[in-house]
């Protein structure tokens, strides 16, 4: 039951993390869309858009979770802690390659990459805590 | 022999059907009441009708306007403020701070198909739509007023004669009478017209990317904003709505016969399509309108979660919207840096907003001063002529003409009335300044919007599914048709 809740709830937090990461990049190097929205557009509409996007992203986020993150859960603690950084490097390579293949060559690549890294960081920390507790 | 006859008959039938292809156009024009049916709308409707008739081959044009053939006055005209005008002088004192000297006339549009009252308009359109065949085209131009609905844009509506609303949902149902094979174009200039972008979907649904038939359109404004036609430009002059620019591009010259800023024919095929005219309008219109087309709406509807907050990349530089952004910046002498630097754009928007709100505040203060003087004058008059306020409402019917005339002479000579008139003149000037500030702000908002569209336009081919791409091309194909 605890596992089920853990698996089901974790991907729900991925989109907010993605949102945060992408907007950090966009605010520093891009069009500052979120800042502009907060200044000039409706907050109510922003919340509505956020919730809708969050719902739309769930299939992808669960997919990401199952492919990239879930296998970690079956690793032994020793292997997991040992591969902590290797996993980051692998994830970034996957993101960069995929982004390039899809046609992104510039700033959006940085945004996507950072988003994935932040999500992975979050997942790893939660996995770290989970495994530490079970030890 | 039989085969030859059959082939010959088929050839004749296909030739006849090709020849009989017609371009049907309907103009629905005028305001919902005579008090809100401005002469500027009438002028634009006449002009648009002329452009359609001249530019559209095999065109069949029908015009519906306000009360149809009813000889009663249905158009409001504006005139200069003149204190010696007795009616105006009384209006100036009793009529509130927004009063403007007006007079009413009957419209002068010929060959009318009747009133825009739904009892006439809807059955007529239904009948006409049902007659359309595969090779025909349909163009619907609405040049009037509209209301919005903040909770459901499908309830945004046309304000037809006698204030009867026709919502997006109802209009879509009406368009359902047109065969799906007929390219159906609509040009809508009213406030909140962006809500009508949904007409491209079955049932005017707001949450689908599926299309219904071959529909496309051009709207003066978003679903949430008032159009230029609802602004003070109507009273203080300088009226320019979406039609003013769109039809100038289609006609190759402005309504006053002046040349265009540049040739809107982007693909140099010698003809200006509706889309080319719209793109010209986006770049050149100095108005309050943030105009949009159904293809732009479709891009915005499509925008997936994983692209929404991503910045623009290099490929957006080749988008047509980036070119339009440059035109807006050049035309309005805005700093070029705003196309690239979001902080600079925001700073400029804040500046323009500050100017606009500052003038708006001055405007409110001035209106309050006018109200105060009006109040003081009415109080003083009430003491001298008890019940004069009600008498004014009843158009002085209970007063003898000599009495009314003596009140008029007394008021004409009064210092307060002169002061009031000066304030009204000042208000008109400030109104123009306010209008200009709003237009200047809109130009910055347009630069911002073009940036967003250039991002979507450049990412769409990379990330959209084939069916969605096909749908988009279908809309673009429809928008690229001619009058």
- B373-390 b/e (C-beta count within 10 Å ≥ 16 → b): bbeebeeebeeeeeebee
The residues that bridge with B143 in the sheet, in sequence order, are B29
* pLDDT score of B42: 93
Beta strand pairing status for B137-144 and B102-105?
Answer: unpaired
pLDDT per residue over B297-309, tens digit each?
999 999 999 889 9
Which residues in chain B are contacts of A33 at CB distance < 8 A?
308-309, 311, 342, 452
Identify whether the C-beta of residue B272 lies closer than 8 Å to the C-beta of residue B265. yes
Q: How many CB pairs under 8 A join A and B?
A: 68
Q: Do B313 and A56 touch (CB under 8 A)?
A: no
**Taking 60 as the threshold, does the pLDDT of residue A77 lie above it?**
yes
What percentage of chain B reaches a pLDDT higher than 90? 80
Nearest-CB residue to A39 (from B312, B346, B451): B346
Q: Poorest-confidence range of A21-35, B126-140, B174-188?
A: A21-35
Q: How far, in Å, CA of B246 to CA of B274, rounded?
A: 8
Q: Which two tokens stand for residue A89?
A: 């490097």
| pLDDT band, very low/low/confident/very high, at B473 (cuts 50, 70, 90) | very high
User: Residue range B283-287: average pLDDT?
Assistant: 93
Q: How far, in Å, CA of B348 to CA of B448, rounded?
A: 11
Q: Which two tokens stand for residue B344?
A: 């600079």
**Taking 70 as the threshold, does the pLDDT of residue B78 lie above it?**
yes
Q: Poorest-confidence range of A97-106, B158-167, B384-393, B440-449?
A: A97-106
User: Residue B23's closest CA among B180, B185, B179?
Assistant: B185
Question: How long is chain B?
Answer: 483
Complete edge-to-edge strand list for the sheet that includes strand B23-30: B59-65, B23-30, B137-144, B183-188, B214-219, B292-293
User: Residue range B429-436: average pLDDT?
Assistant: 92
Contacting residues for B182 by C-beta, under 8 A, at least 6 apart? B132, B133, B134, B136, B137, B138, B213, B214
**Taking 50 as the threshold, does the pLDDT of residue B149 lie above it?**
yes
* pLDDT score of A76: 72
* pLDDT score of A122: 76
Neighbours of B224 (CB within 10 A): 17
What percentage of chain A reaches a pLDDT higher than 90? 23
Q: Do A30 and B462 touch (CB under 8 A)?
A: no
Nearest-CB residue to A111 (from B304, B311, B349): B311
Alpha-carbon torsion angle A83, A85, A91, A97, nearest 10: -120
Closest approach of chain B CAs to the CA of A1, in angstroms?
Answer: 31
- DSSP assignment of B135-149: T-EEEEEEEE-EE--
Nearest-CB residue to B313 (from A18, A22, A106): A106
Q: How far, in Å, CA of B480 to CA of A79, rounded?
A: 61
Neighbours of B425 (CB within 10 A): 12
User: Residue range B331-346: average pLDDT?
Assistant: 95
Q: How far, in Å, CA of B111 to CA of B25, rounded?
A: 14
| pLDDT band, very low/low/confident/very high, at B4 (cuts 50, 70, 90) | low
Higher pLDDT, A117 or B482: B482
| pLDDT band, very low/low/confident/very high, at B477 (cuts 50, 70, 90) | very high
User: Residue range B272-284: average pLDDT?
Assistant: 96
Could you tell me how far CA B234 lies from the centroid of its own chain? Answer: 12
Which residues in chain B are contacts of A23 at CB distance < 8 A?
309
Q: How far, in Å, CA of B264 to CA of B219, rounded?
A: 18
The contact set of A with B (CB < 8 A) is: 15, 18-19, 22-23, 25-26, 29-36, 39-40, 49, 52-54, 56-57, 60, 102-108, 111-112
User: Residue range B105-131: average pLDDT?
Assistant: 95
What percentage of chain B reaches a pLDDT higher than 70? 94
Which residues in chain A are contacts of B313 at CB distance < 8 A?
104-108
Higher pLDDT, B70 or A70: B70
**Taking 50 as the threshold, does the pLDDT of residue B17 lie above it?**
no
| pLDDT band, very low/low/confident/very high, at B13 (cuts 50, 70, 90) | very low
Q: Which two tokens stand for residue A77?
A: 């603690």
Identify whether the C-beta of residue B229 lies closer than 8 Å to the C-beta of residue B261. no
Q: What is the DSSP letter of B428?
A: H
| pLDDT band, very low/low/confident/very high, at A67 (cuts 50, 70, 90) | confident
pLDDT per residue over B376-425, tens digit each?
999 999 998 888 988 998 888 888 888 899 999 999 999 999 999 999 99
Higher pLDDT, B351 or B11: B351
Contacting residues for B456 by C-beta, under 8 A, at least 6 apart? B299, B300, B302, B303, B307
| pTM, to two decimals | 0.89
* pLDDT score of A8: 80
* pLDDT score of A41: 92
| pLDDT band, very low/low/confident/very high, at A28 (cuts 50, 70, 90) | confident
Neighbours of A34 (CB within 10 A): 20
Q: What's phi and psi for B30, nearest 5 deg?
A: 95, 165
Q: Do B310 and A103 touch (CB under 8 A)?
A: no
Q: How far, in Å, CA of B251 to CA of B51, rounded?
A: 6
User: Residue range B124-141: average pLDDT?
Assistant: 95
Q: Do B305 and A40 touch (CB under 8 A)?
A: no
Identify whether the C-beta of residue B388 lies closer than 8 Å to the C-beta of residue B407. yes
pLDDT, averaged across chain B: 91
Q: What is the DSSP letter of B200?
A: G
**What are the CA-CA distances from residue B388 to residues B101, B376, B377, B404, B409 (Å)?**
21, 14, 11, 10, 15
| pLDDT band, very low/low/confident/very high, at B16 (cuts 50, 70, 90) | very low
What percentage of chain A reaches a pLDDT higher than 70? 73
């Amino acid at each position: 039951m605890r596992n089920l809740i853990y698996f089901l709830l974790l991907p729900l937090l991925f989109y907010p993390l993605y949102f945060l990461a992408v907007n950090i990049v966009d605010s520093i190097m891009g069009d500052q869309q979120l800042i502009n929205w907060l200044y000039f557009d409706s907050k109510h509409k922003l919340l509505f858009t956020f919730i809708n996007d969050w719902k739309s992203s769930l299939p992808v986020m669960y997919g990401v979770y199952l492919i990239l993150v879930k296998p970690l859960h079956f690793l032994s603690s020793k292997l997991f802690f040992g591969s902590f950084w290797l996993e980051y490097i692998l994830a970034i390579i996957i993101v960069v390659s995929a982004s390039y293949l899809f046609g992104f060559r510039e700033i959006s690549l940085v945004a996507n990459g950072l988003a994935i890294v932040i999500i992975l960081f979050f997942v790893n920390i939660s996995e770290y805590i989970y495994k530490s507790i079970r030890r | 022999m039989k085969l030859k006859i059959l082939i010959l008959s088929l050839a004749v039938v296909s030739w006849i059907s090709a020849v009989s292809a017609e371009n049907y156009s309907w103009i629905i024009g005028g305001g919902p009441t005579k008090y809100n049916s401005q002469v500027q709308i009438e002028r634009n409707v006449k002009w648009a009708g002329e452009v359609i008739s001249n530019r559209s081959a095999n065109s069949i044009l029908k015009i519906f306007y306000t009360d149809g053939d009813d000889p009663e006055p249905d158009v409001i005209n504006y005139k200069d403020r003149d204190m010696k005008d007795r009616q105006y002088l009384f209006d100036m004192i009793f009529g509130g701070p927004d009063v403007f000297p007006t007079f009413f006339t009957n419209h002068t549009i010929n060959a009318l198909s009747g009133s825009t009252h739904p009892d006439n308009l809807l059955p007529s359109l239904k009948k006409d739509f049902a007659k359309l065949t595969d090779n025909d085209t349909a163009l619907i131009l609405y040049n009037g007023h509209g209301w919005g609905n903040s909770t459901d844009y499908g309830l945004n509506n046309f304000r037809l004669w006698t204030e009867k609303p026709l919502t997006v949902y109802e209009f879509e149902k009406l368009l359902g009478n047109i065969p799906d094979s007929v390219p159906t174009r609509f040009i809508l200039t009213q406030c909140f017209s962006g809500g009508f972008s949904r007409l491209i979907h079955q049932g005017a649904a707001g949450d689908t990317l599926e299309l219904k038939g071959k529909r496309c359109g051009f709207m003066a404004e978003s679903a949430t904003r008032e159009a230029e036609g609802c602004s003070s430009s109507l009273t203080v002059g300088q009226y320019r709505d979406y039609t003013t620019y769109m039809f100038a591009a289609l006609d190759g010259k402005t309504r006053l016969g002046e040349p265009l800023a540049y040739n809107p024919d982007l693909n140099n095929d010698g003809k200006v399509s509706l889309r080319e005219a719209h793109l010209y309008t986006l770049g050149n219109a100095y108005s309050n309108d943030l105009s949009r087309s159904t293809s732009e709406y479709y891009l915005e509807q499509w925008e997936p979660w994983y692209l929404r907050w991503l910045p623009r990349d290099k490929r957006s530089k080749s988008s047509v919207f980036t070119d339009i952004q440059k035109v807006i910046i050049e035309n309005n002498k805005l700093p070029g840096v705003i196309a690239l630097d979001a902080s600079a754009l925001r700073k400029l928007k804040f500046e323009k907003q500050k100017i606009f709100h500052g003038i708006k505040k001055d405007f409110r203060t001035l209106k309050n001063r006018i109200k105060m003087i009006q109040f003081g004058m009415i109080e003083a008059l009430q003491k001298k002529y008890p019940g004069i306020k009600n008498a004014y409402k009843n158009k002085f019917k209970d007063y003898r003409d000599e009495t009314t005339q003596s009140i008029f002479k007394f008021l004409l000579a009064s210092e307060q009335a002169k002061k009031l008139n000066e304030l009204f003149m000042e208000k008109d000037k400030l109104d123009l300044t306010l209008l200009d500030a709003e237009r200047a702000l809109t130009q910055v908002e347009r630069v911002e919007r073009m940036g967003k569209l250039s991002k979507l336009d450049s990412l769409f081919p990379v990330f959209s599914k084939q069916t969605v791409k096909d749908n988009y091309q279908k809309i673009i194909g429809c928008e690229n048709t001619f009058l």
